[in-house]
Amino acid sequence: MKAVIISKTGGPEVLELKDIKLDDPKSGEVLIKNEAIGLNYIDTYHRSGLYPVELPSNIGMEGAGVIKKIGPDVKDFKVGDRVAYASMPIGSYSTHRIFPTKKLVKVPDEIELENIVTLMTKGLTVFYLLHKTYPVKSGETILYHAAAGGVGQIFCQWAKSLGCKVIGTVGSDEKIEIAKLNGCDHVINYSKENFAEKVKEITNGAGVPVVYDGVGKKTFDRSIECLKVRGTMVSFGNASGPLDPCNVTKSLAPKGLYLTRPSIAHYTTTREELDEAASKVFEMFMTKKFSLKIFKKYPLSEITKAHEDLEDRKILGPAVIIPN
């Protein structure tokens, strides 16, 4: 059994693949043999120390595999079940791991496990963004940043299936066509154009009712400019760097705006919420409301390279880690 361990925070070089030994699962736990692992930007936050973890630490929050052992009193899962997860405790960068059943979901036989790890974190994120944080309405024009990324690939297609008009931003010209293929009606390169001005032009000066922003530092201030009166600013990531403190009087008060910082954890606080979200994601995928194309697969032994590519914006869509 192997797992990626960090003994100190820093760049991709701190990721170390080591041999491990695991105890038998305890009450409410199972032993999973991971078949596929999700690669997500939040993993870099744990590695860098932006989101502090107690060291030494495992890393990774998303995985899918097969149950090999169950702990005492586990009744809802059995050996051989195909399962997936996308939550704490971290530790998915591993060949095997112990995981609590309360945060585990069963995977439909129709979906390959490699696809599941592009669906869990990213799909659950899109579910809560579009249906819970700001429930969109058919006919609305909305703004989504990083429309060519892994979450963006699902988000734009899902939003279009709900009848929305999607304005997407990207950080380079090479990503414009990808965003269009993902379903965007309009695509703006925010590194070259003032996207706030373009949004006002597209909406005839009206602005948008909601901005979904996982980019962060580079896009926050102008995103505020894009919003209508009583609009909602959804800040759910900071791929370009952590946000500066928000001046409520300056940023929110002039238009009576709403600001929220949601995460999957906020919308999966109960078994019922987790099952609702996962079921909806699986349903949308199996009914082809959105499609997925895995951009690249990395062996676990090349996890340093995977993080380098992720932070250098070389990954244009969902990427998967395959345990060695």
User: Of 243, 262, 281, which closes a domain?
Assistant: 262
Q: Is residue 278, in this structure, part of any structural domain at all? A: no
Report the distance separating Cα 169 and Cα 146, nearest Å. 6
Q: What is the CATH number of the domain that holds 80?
A: 3.90.180.10
Q: Is residue 283, in this structure, part of any structural domain at all? A: no
CA-closest candidate to residue 7, choices 62, 58, 43? 58
Q: Is residue 299, in this structure, part of any structural domain at all? A: yes
Same domain, 18 and 113: yes
Same domain, 75 and 150: no
Residue 240 clears pLDDT 70, i.e. is over it: no
User: Of 262, 282, 305, which closes a domain?
Assistant: 262
Which carries the bigger pLDDT value, residue 246 or residue 275?
275
Q: What is the pLDDT of residue 49?
A: 95
Same domain, 151 and 96: no
Q: Is residue 112, in this structure, part of any structural domain at all? A: yes
Report the distance separating Cα 97 and Cα 20, nearest Å. 10
Same domain, 112 and 143: no
Q: What is the CATH number of the domain that holds 155?
A: 3.40.50.720
User: Of 219, 246, 262, which closes a domain?
Assistant: 262
Same domain, 112 and 8: yes
pLDDT tens string 199-208: 999 999 999 9
Domain count, the chain: 2
Residues contacting residue 74 through CB under 8 Å, at least 6 positions apart: 25, 27, 28, 29, 30, 101
Same domain, 69 and 24: yes
Same domain, 187 and 220: yes
Q: Is residue 276, in this structure, part of any structural domain at all? A: no
pLDDT band at 246 (very low <50, low <70, confident <90, very high): confident
Per-residue burial over 185-216, b if 16 or more Cβ lie within 10 Å, else e, is ebbbbbeeeebbebbbebbeeebbbbbbbbbb
Same domain, 180 and 236: yes
Q: Is residue 231, in this structure, part of any structural domain at all? A: yes
DSSP lists the bridge partners of residue 321 as 37, 298
- Parent domain of 142: 138-262
What values do phi and psi take at 253, rounded to 5? -60, -40
Same domain, 111 and 34: yes
Q: Is residue 56, in this structure, part of any structural domain at all? A: yes
pLDDT tens string 8-17: 999 999 999 9
Q: What is the pLDDT of residue 217?
A: 85
Same domain, 71 and 107: yes
Mean pLDDT of 192-212: 97
